[in-house]
Each structure stands twice: as structure tokens, then as C-alpha cells.
Structure 1
């Protein structure tokens, strides 16, 4: 299902199509039935939106095994939201198990809960991507040691994040636009290449290799 082309830029996590030539994976946390019209997407129960968790879970089960669904997520844990903790952990565990069953990678949303996420992710047998990563080097190294991937977006526009970003191996990077309507994935790639002092074409090719590693089951 993954598109293949030379020097194709991948957007691993976006909430809307930007209408560019980039390869986009559109994230859906509700209305999973609408995913059938998308070329490729990720589906998951976001910790913010678990008011009707069991209804949503049944809908996720119905649509998650479709070939255009490349990943499960975004899902995870968030200590800054109002959703009861036990509900968050229950459905995060369920989605980890679902990803294992379907052999699809996990796209992780994590806020102030990295230790708890890591504990539950011990059960994951598929590639794991922490989206929108903007934490410090210590947290990054903790995730990288597990072999997880870190996805970066608008935080790269901040010069203050440059030192941390340069500590991340390019072999464990992805890029995204998330919910930023004016941000183009092309600009994220260019900014990353500048910060790393890395040739843009070489960076694009490396991220392509990363994608093949992440989505090895979904091709």
C-alpha cells in the first residue's frame, strides 16, 4: 500500500491532506467509517476522545484491518487530559494487542506519561513511533534505546530545539505536520536538513528506509 517513488517525502502523521506531492498518512480518531475513502491512514482511539470508548472500540475493530489502514494510532496516555486514567490504560493496552494481531505499527500520543507508556509498550511486537516528539535528550535516549522512532514537526521551527534534535539518529526519525494547517512537510524536511547540516536528498532517502522498516508488514 505504501507509495514508492524516488525522493518522495513522507508525512507520517497529519489530520488533513495538504494537497502536495508528498506521501501522507492521515490520522483519524473518530468517524472511522470515513477512512474507507482515504488512500492511506492510521486509525486509533485518542486518549482525549474516550467518552464512548466501547462504541469507538467496536468501530475500530471493524475498520482497522483494511489495507489502507497502515497503522494503529494515534493512541497512548495523556496525564493532562480529563479522561480517567483507568480508561486510558485499558484502551491503550487493547490497541497494542490489536496492533500485534494485525501486524501494524503503533503511532503514539504521550503527554507526561513516558514511564507508563514504556511499561505498557513492553507488550508491543510491532514498530512504535512517538509522534510530535518535543522532549529533552534524556527522554529521547530512553525511547531510542527501545528501538522506537521519533516523529518531528513544527517543533523544528524553534531554534531552541536544535541541540536536542541533532542528538537523534537519522535512522530513527520521521517527520509530520500533525494538526498544523499551514505547515508543509516539505518545509519540515528542509528545516531538518538545515539543522543537521545534512544533504536534503540524502535525508529523504534515509527517511524512506525508515518507512520501510516501520511499515514492513503493511507493504
Structure 2
């Protein structure tokens, strides 16, 4: 059994196909999925899916790529996170890849999410791209992670170095791998995946993006997370059943979901 720890099935191209999405999950033994919020205007759609389907969970947060969107406050995130179907704060973090100029607003938004996580005791879902040094620095300064009295979280869709992974692991975070790890060009990431302990690993699709091999280039969906697990099992030379069981157990531990 598998769990997709990060997807965006509220996006229109997937939401309009929910019966087929759920059927594909069942076909591939994907028992649950976490639908992750990227902005507040669309958050009601994310929550509605979690309220309608018992095997779908939700988060609340504002993605660092979304510049022209209402800024969340700590109080607002804390209030929205009280809903029992909300498992986490995020996705949040830093992304310097697409945006230029003064990005202090992005760093301040990240701090707001960390503070909401500490107050709610719900884990963070962190996105970082071309910004790992600042991401780790702000995590340290704001007390993200269990080593600072905060809450554990996950570095989602991980594509950074082993050194960044080790720093996040030391803070109590989990590392999540998406379909990118299956790409032939992802040799450095595959080397990182070999080193990350299975006990601290999650798997995800980040659908509708980043479909794993053999579906690369097509629309991704939660049912395809099985292929990420299969590739991880090959990389680490362990039974697929072990990857499936451990990553599912890790999800339940991190997000406080009963078995």
C-alpha cells in the first residue's frame, strides 16, 4: 500500500476527473493522498476534497511562487489549520528560480508559515528551489524542526544536495522524492536517495506535474506514486513491500494519522 504525500488534485485538470483519479489510486494500491494548498483563494477547493473523500487529506498555505496573492497571517493560518482534515502548514518555503528582484516578501511569508506551524504543532511542507542556503537559515532562525522545539516537517519534491538533505534530517525533517528521481538525467538526486534513510523518506507525485517514468511528459496523478516507490526500491536494493510499508508508516507518523 502506498501514500501520495503531496499532490494538487484540486487543480482543474485533475479535479474534473476525480472518479477516474480515485479509481487509478485503488488500482495501484494508493490508499491516501495529501492535497496541498498553494494559495488562500483556492484553499476552499482543497478543503472540500478532503471533506468529501475520506482518503484525501489537506494542508493550508501559500506557495512561494505566488507573488500576486493575498498574504497569509499567522493568525489566519492557525485558524484554518484547526479543521481536523488539515494535516500540515504549507506548502511554503523559498523559490529563487523564477522570480527576481527583492524577494524579502517571500522570506517573510516563509517565516509566517513556520510560526504558524510552531503554534499549531502541525508539520511544515517545505518547497525550496535555488534557495537552499536561505531556506536552511530561516528554518534555523525561526525554530523549525524538532531540534529547536518546533515540529517536524518534510522537504517536498527534493532536488537539492546530500548536504542539504543531511541538514534537514538533523532538524527532524523527512525527505520526499517525486517522479524526478526516476528520470535518467537525475543521477545526483538518485545518489542522494540512496543515502537518505528509508525511515525518514516519503514519496509523492506533485501531480499534475513531474510524472515518473514510464509516464514522463504526461499528466501526473496520485496513482502513479507506486512507480516512485518501485524506483526507490531498486535504488536502495530493498523489497518494494518494505518501501511501501515504511513510507506509509512515515507519513502517518509525521502527519499524526492513525493507521
TM-score range, shorter chain: 0.7 to 0.9
Q: Verify: 1:182 aligned to 2:182, yes or no.
A: no
1:126 match: secondary structure: coil
Q: Distance in 2 between matches of 1:194 and 1:151?
A: 16
Instruction: Tell me the distance in 1 between the aligned counterparts of 2:65 and 2:118.
Output: 23
Q: Which runs of 5+ in 2 are unaligned?
A: 15-20, 51-56, 145-149, 210-218
Task: Please report the RMSD computed on the Cα atoms of aligned residues, expressed in angstroms.
Answer: 2.1
1:133: how far off?
A: 0.6
- Call closer, same or farther: CA 1:97–1:59 in 2, change over 3 Å: closer
In the alignment, which of 183, 189, 192 is matched to residue 232 of structure 2?
192
TM-score by length of 1: 0.86
Which residue of structure 2 aligns with residue 5 of structure 1? none
What is the count of residue pairs matched by the alignment? 210
1:93 match: 111
Gapped regions of structure 1 (runs ≥ 5)? 1-7
Q: Deviations over 1:47-93 (max 9, x none)?
A: 11132333x54764552221111111110011223374211111111
SS of the residue corresponding to residue 24 of structure 1 reads strand
Q: Partners in 1 of 2:159 and 2:139 — Cα distance?
A: 19
Which aligned segments of 4 or more residues in structure 1 are displaced greater than 3 angstroms? Answer: 56-62
Name the residue aligned to 2:125: 107
The offset of 1:102, in angstroms, is 1.2
Identify the range of structure 1 (206-215 vs 192-201) with the bigger mean alpha-carbon deviation: 206-215
Q: How many Å separate the matches in 2 of 1:24 and 1:71?
A: 13
Please give the secondary structure, in 2, of the residue aligned with 1:150. Answer: strand
Does 2:24 match 1:24?
no
**CA contact under 8 A between 2:3 and 2:248: conserved in structure 1?**
yes
> Paired residue for 2:255?
215
In the alignment, what sits opposite 1:156?
181
